Structures are given as structure tokens and as C-alpha cells.
Amino acid sequence: AAFPSVWMLDKDALRMQLPEIKRKSFVFRSVFGLPGIYVDPQTCSMIAIEVKAAVHTLMKRVYQGKISGKAALLDEPRLRIDHTAMELTVCGIVDVADNEVPEVTPLLSEEAKKDGPLQSALDKCRIKLLKEFRLNTTYEEVVDWISSGIYVDGIEIPSVDDEVLMKAHAEVRMVQSLKNMSAGLSRASGLAKELEAASKLKNVPDTIARLSSACLSLFTDAKKTAKQIGG
């Protein structure tokens, strides 16, 4: 699909492209490990609100607070909080002025140990039941992009060319394929029963019979070596 574009009309009602505005955003994904304790939905909502408030203030102060001349041009930090019994994930997009930004893991770790909404939220997650504090940042990068002037739900869409758009579509298709493959592998636990049933059919094709026998052997014989399994 073609990427949308925006223009203005000049005094002669002719289309005039918006001026390009080059921008930078710090993008990150950090995951707090949790002990796997059930938390009711109402408390989960409170946790998300507290984490979002704490991290928003932190991002604004550390990444945008010292940019006095350009602060008016920067969008507010955008955050997404996902919470399960095992993990609390914080994803963020923070507009910045240059590529030199502090690492996010030490900032979140320090903030989590202070009295405040982030520590309060983690306490509600029973994080103190863990033997050691776990925080892992799986992605952090400063991304260069160009303003498009198009906003969806208050968030601006970056301007990209056809080549970048095709790459994005390809990556989305790849992620979808991996998701489908993962779903298929998750059902492999019942494969042994299916193979056993297939091997007992009347008039089983020789190829299916040999495949069934080999697969059942792999499933049931724990003494097989890696070389034998590879063969």
C-alpha cells in the first residue's frame, strides 16, 4: 500500500509539500523479571498507571530536560506497559536531540530502588519475593526519522520512501511467519501419538511407515546420541 503524504495549499491553491523536519527518537524495550504471583486485574491496572507515570517523568527529565532550546519541538515520551505474572515490560519512544544518550537499564534500576511510583508498582508485583533483582533491556537505539505531518491517535507517523516501506512490509511478513511456525511447534507435543496411530493403519505407505518408526524412536529412546539423531 502506498504511504500517505501531506501537503498544504499556497495562495494559488497549488499543492505545496510540508518542509522536512529531521528528528531523532530513543527507542527501548526493558523487562523486569517477576516471581510469577497472580495479581488481580484492578491491581494490574494500578501497576500500569504507576509505572507509566514514573517512567514518563524519568524519561522527560533525563533525556529531554537539558534541551532547553529544543524542548518545545520534542513530543512527550510515549510508553507502553505490558504486565504478566512473570514479566513487566516497558516499551518507550522518547524524542531526543542527538545520539549521545545514557543507557536506560541503570536509570530504571536506580529509579526502582527509590521511594516512588515505580517502586510502589514493583512491590505490588511482589518483586521482593525474587532472590535477586532482574532487569534486562532487550533493545535500545536512537533512530533517525523525518516528520510526515500525519498524526494517528496523537502519534506522528514518520515519513518513509518506497524502499523503506517494502522492507517494513517484508519484516512484518517474516514476524508473522515466525509466529505461525512457533504456534505449529507448540502443538508438536501430540506428534508422538499421531505417529503411533499412523503406524498402525492398514496399508501404510512405506515412506510414512519408515518416517513414523524413525520419529517414534527419537521420541522414546533417550539413549540416542546427537550424531544418531542428526543422521
pLDDT in tens, 73-98: 678 899 999 988 899 999 999 988 88
pLDDT band at 177 (very low <50, low <70, confident <90, very high): confident
- The DSSP annotation for 123-175 comes to HHTTGGGSSS--EEEEEEEEEEEEEEEEEETTEEEEE--HHHHHHHHHHHHHH
* β-bridge mates for residue 90, sequence order: 30, 81
Nearest to 75 by CA among 137, 19, 153: 153
Phi, psi for residue 54 in degrees, rounded to 5:
-65, -45
Tens-place pLDDT, residues 116-136: 899 999 999 999 899 899 999
Specify the pLDDT at position 102: 92
CB 94 within 8 A of CB 77: yes
CB 56 within 8 A of CB 148: no
Nearest to 126 by CA among 55, 40, 30, 29: 40
- The whole-model pTM stands at 0.61
Angle between helices 41-59 and 117-124 (to 10 degrees): 150
CB 25 within 8 A of CB 158: no
Specify the pLDDT at position 109: 94
Specify the pLDDT at position 212: 66
* Least confidently predicted of 111-120, 154-163, 166-175: 154-163
